[in-house]
Structure 1
Amino acid sequence: MNMSAASERLVVIGGDAAGMSAASQARRLKGPDALEIVAFERGHFTSYSACGIPYWVGGDVEERDQLIARTPEEHRARGIDLRMRTEVTEIDVAGQRVRARDVDSGAESWTSYDKLVIATGARPIRPEMPGADAPGVHGVQTLDDGQALLDTLARTRGRRAVVVGAGYIGVEMAEALINRGYEVTVVNRGSEPMSTLDPDMGRLVHEAMEGLGITMVNDAAVTKVLTGEDGRVRAVATEDAEYPADVVVLGIGVRPETSLAKAAGLPVGHHDGLLTDLALRVRGHENIWAGGDCVEVLDLVSGQERHIALGTHANKHGQVIGANVGGGYATFPGVVGTAVSKVCDLEIARTGLREKDARRAGLQYETVTIESTSRAGYYPGASPMTVKMLAERRTGRLLGVQIVGREGAGKRVDIAAVALTAGMTVEQMTALDLGYAPPFSPVWDPVLVAARKAASKVRAS
């Protein structure tokens, strides 16, 4: 469709969760004669679950296409001009246009816009060190990344894998590689895995990972990747040791992919993510919106901006942006920092603030840690669970919860996430009317046991 047939043109940069949710929502609200939509995606896939990649690599999800919610053809059938394998290389804010390059042919062209959505996602952190780009070293952020890793695993004869980093990505990829039959070593800069937890809770993850046959190396930074005569990776080195590797997976984390936006002079925050208002409009720019892993969001507990790369947020951002672009109204008020993961049968969950987050925000707090079970102790299958809770001193306001346990542990964090969003105190939480039957929980749910203990400690402080 040309500009004469449409009163406005929306350009979307990025074809995954936030970008295509925004495009689809705007299309639902605006007919094709009122809004032309052009979307650019530099990869091979759209609208897929990046969170599912470790489970595809590990074999729990059999087919790549199971992770794809909507194909390019399905988007086009809904009136979106989606241009695949096309990378936007420049945003001309003053001229209201973007320059895009066909990845395969190299051909470039400019496309004008009336409204722009930036949904460029995040990129895996690649450490600045020799050998980081050697064949056999993989970051895992997109479906293309996942396919490249699987291709490497298929043609690699050796069975030794090193995962660099022990955050969510690192832990999940360690499990995936164990499932593939690899000997896995995790090299972690921190004192314990899962830096999103306090170290005492991370220690529980450490012990469980070693119980699964994963070799944990903590307090160790990789200084270089060593290669063989064929140029492929053969080991990773720290200051003290070398760890043989036939494949290396970088699980250090991700950074907002905002190089394009920064070059255009758009505002970014302390974490390098784009800064927006509550409607997800880029600050200072009436006709530019941004969402997904490339933005910073408000932490409702600490009141500070933070960067969290999660598909749940990205899809919500897209819905908000699409509503506003399409003439409606919506806002994204912020997050409490809820996340859940697993390594084999160990479930790991957290929401709200860690101890160091609370200190950084200037909050004084009390902490309690309790041991409980997922079901009534006498009911078959009851498994141990550890719950740590932070509450603000004097007020008793809930500040954060961390849970490590087996089946039935992880999703209990949602109780705390709702309580945090509502601004509840731990005293108020003790009266929550939660579901109970012996197959599901003890009479006092583990989260409420922690709340009772925290309330007592707050009263005594």
Structure 2
Amino acid sequence: MSIERLVVIGGDAAGMSAASRARRLKGPEELEIVAFERGHFTSYSACGIPYWVGGDVAGRDDLVARTPEEHRARGIDLRLRTEVTEIDVAGRRVRARAVDSGAQSWTSYDKLVVATGARPIRPDLPGADAAGVHGVQTLDDGQALIDTLSRARGRRAVVVGAGYIGVEMAEALINRGYEVTVVNRGSEPMSTLDPDMGRLVHRAMEGMGISMVNDAEVTEVCTTRDGRVRAVRTADAEYPADVVVLGIGVRPETALAQAAGLPVGGHGGLLTDLAMRVRGHEEIWAGGDCVEVFDLVSGQERHIALGTHANKHGQVIGANVAGGYATFPGVVGTAVSKVCDLEIARTGLREKDAHRAGLRFETVTVESTSRAGYYPGASPMTVKMLAERRTGRLLGVQIVGREGAGKRVDVAAVALTAGMTVERMTSLDLGYAPPFSPVWDPVLVAARKATAKVHGSGRE
């Protein structure tokens, strides 16, 4: 019996989850596994980088789930500092280049996994590549930022962008004693929320000492004579900076795949079927931040860069590569974050998502508390809920509050996945005790209010 070869491009969550799962199901006598990673690290938590930078996580190694040596000990031929530069689909081979020496070679495959991740958006602006300007996507990026912070001449930081990475990096820099300004081209921070909920985040960030500049487009990164960053300029002002962090977002890293003729969607991510197989290519799979995923609520494809999805993709791919059968049905778009003690959560659709999908809907917003109001430590939270008009189907939930707010979104995520109506949600048998919740959990209070509004709209 001949031995098949699996080649994996990318050594983080999706790629190494796929390789590890395939290895558990098939031994080296049946399947040879070769994995290429252009960086220094494998299987690490990119989501944890802001907390490492901010000092909540003690060191870089704490973010590594499995080292290269551990992967090799399990029978995976892992080649670090090696970048795949070409995929020859017809010839079933990849060309790889050693990053340090420049040496190139071809490696054939029977099965291929593309897990190239995403890249930080770096604006095409004067000075964007100056010393002291950092994107944060990999452990190497995080180390470079920490090195800059340790030798910076001053304590002024500008974060460009106010999405998840932007607000998390603002917190990290505040924790390191920096004066932080966040420059955001949107009307409010956290464009993953509706503007009314983003406004709550805005107020809280300013209360923490973070300067928020909204509706501002960066036009230039100003530099010193020796090429270091000194300020960020917009059309209306200039903001001094000893370090700049780009938190604008990420795009799927699919240039390699596109050059090979693999199909991509409207968001730039690779298109796959339910088994995570690249559409039209029987022996090629893709997963992680380089793919588009199916939104179970809107019925549309979207790009979401999250480690939770990437690890699930890898498990599905590994099972299928090894001859089994597994599927990834889609997502509802759940995400949580925090800035200092403010917790931010969302799942499902925002108002503009629902409009884009052609849905008619109602919205409600409620104020409640994390615990029974009389119990010590009860803190306020705001819950916004979207429900489809007439049917009452839950479409989305956003939550902003203090301790105990963020993970409440999981109830809504389950309800969305199950296709529940807001009326059905009001009967959910959730856990109750005064230290954990009011008698009516805030999510259920919102569901009750949404039910009343939907019923009212149904009588119009």
In 1, the alpha carbon distance for the partners of 2:124 and 2:389 equals 42
Aligned mates of 2:27, 2:325 — CA distance in 1: 17
1:335 aligns with 2:326: no
State the shift of 1:390 in Å.
0.1
Deviations 1:239-289 (A, max 9, x none): 111000000000000000000000001000000000000000000000000
Which amino acid letter does the alignment assign opposite residue 106 of structure 1? G
Could you say which residue in structure 2 is the equivalent of 1:385?
381
Q: State the match for 2:243 in structure 1.
A: 247
Letter in 2 for 1:176: A
2: CA distance between counterparts of 1:83 and 1:204? 46
Q: Distance in 2 between matches of 1:141 and 1:122?
A: 8
1:421 maps to amino acid? T
Pick one of 389, 393, 396 that aligns with 2:392. 396
| 1:413 alignment counterpart | 409
The answer on whether the counterparts of 1:391 and 1:426 sit within 8 Å (CA) in structure 2 is yes
2:148 match? 152
Amino acid at match of 2:213: V
SS at 1:278 equivalent: coil
Q: For 2:418 and 2:373, how far apart are their aligned partners in 1?
A: 31
Of 63, 66, 83, the residue aligned with 1:87 is 83
Asked whether the 8 Å contact 1:18–1:316 carries over to 2, the reply is yes
Instruction: Give the structure 2 partner of residue 57 of structure 1.
Output: 53
SS of equivalent residue, structure 2 residue 218: coil
Conserved in 2, the CA contact under 8 Å of 1:184 and 1:214? yes
The answer to whether the aligner puts 1:430 opposite 2:446 as a matched pair is no
Instruction: Tell me the distance in 1 between the aligned counterparts of 2:148 and 2:108.
Output: 40
Q: What residue number does 2:441 align with?
A: 445
Match of 2:114 among 118, 135, 156: 118
**Which residues in structure 2 correspond to 1:252-291 (within 5 Å)?**
252-291=248-287
Query: Matches of 1:245 and 1:262 in 2, distance apart?
Result: 37
Aligned partner of 2:14 in structure 1 is 18
Which residue is equivalent to 1:366? 362
Distance 1:66 1:203 in 2: 34
2:347 equivalent to 1:351: yes
**How far apart are the structure 2 equivalents of 1:101 and 1:151?**
27
**Counterpart in the other structure of 1:171:** 167
3-state secondary structure, aligned to 1:292:
coil
TM-score normalized by the length of structure 1: 0.99
The CA distance in 1 between the partners of 2:58 and 2:24, in whole Å, is 33
Secondary structure, counterpart of 2:140 in structure 1: helix
1:59–1:180 Cα contact (<8 Å) kept: yes
- CA distance in 1 between counterparts of 2:166 and 2:93 reads 38
Give the structure 1 partner of residue 453 of structure 2: 457
> Helix, strand or coil for the counterpart of 1:117?
strand
Q: Is the 8 A contact 1:6 1:36 kept in 2?
A: no
- Show the counterpart of 1:302: 298
2:308 is aligned to 312
| Contact 1:338/1:417 (8 A) holds in 2 | yes
Determine whether 1:183 maps to 2:172. Answer: no
1:33 is the counterpart of 2:33: no
| Identical amino acids, percent of aligned pairs | 89
Whole-Å separation in 2 of the counterparts to 1:399 and 1:263: 37
| Distance in 1, Cα, partners of 2:227 & 2:11 | 34
Partner of 1:100: 96
* Aligned-residue CA RMSD (Å): 0.6
**Offset of residue 230 of structure 1:** 1.0
1:444–1:38 distance in 2 versus 1, CA, 3 Å = same
| Cα deviation digits, residues 69-122 of structure 1 (max 9, x gap) | 000000000000000000000000000000000000000000000000000000
2-structure distance, mates of 1:368, 1:128: 40
Contact 1:6 1:32 in 2 (8 A): no
Equivalent residues, number: 457
Q: Is the CA contact (8 Å cut-off) linking 1:300 and 1:334 kept in structure 2?
A: yes
Alpha-carbon separation, structure 2, partners of 1:167 and 1:139: 13
Task: Look up the equivalent residue of 2:247 and give its one-letter code.
Answer: G
The CA deviation at 1:6 is: 5.2
| CA distance in structure 1 between the aligned counterparts of 2:282 and 2:125, rounded to whole angstroms | 41
Matched, 1:322 2:318: yes
Is the aligned partner of 1:293 residue 2:289? yes
Tell me which amino acid in the other structure corresponds to 1:279: A
Aligned to 1:109: 105
CA separation in 2, counterparts of 1:130 and 1:63? 34
Which blocks of at least 5 consecutive residues in structure 2 are unaligned?
Answer: none
The 3-state SS of whatever aligns with 2:23 is: helix
Residue 7 (structure 1) shift? 1.6
Q: Which runs of 5+ in 1 are unaligned?
A: none
Indicate the SS of the match to 2:289.
Answer: helix
TM-score (norm 2): 0.99
Q: Is contact 1:40-1:88 (8 Å) kept?
A: yes
- Mapped partners of 2:403, 2:153: distance in 1: 35
Q: Residues 278-302 of structure 1: CA distance to partner in whole angstroms, max 9, x if unpaired? A: 0000000000000000000000000
- 1:293 is paired with a residue of what secondary structure? coil
Displacement of 1:417 in angstroms is: 0.1
Mapped to 1, the partners of 2:412 and 2:153 lie a distance apart of 46
Letter of the structure 1 residue corresponding to residue 89 of structure 2: V
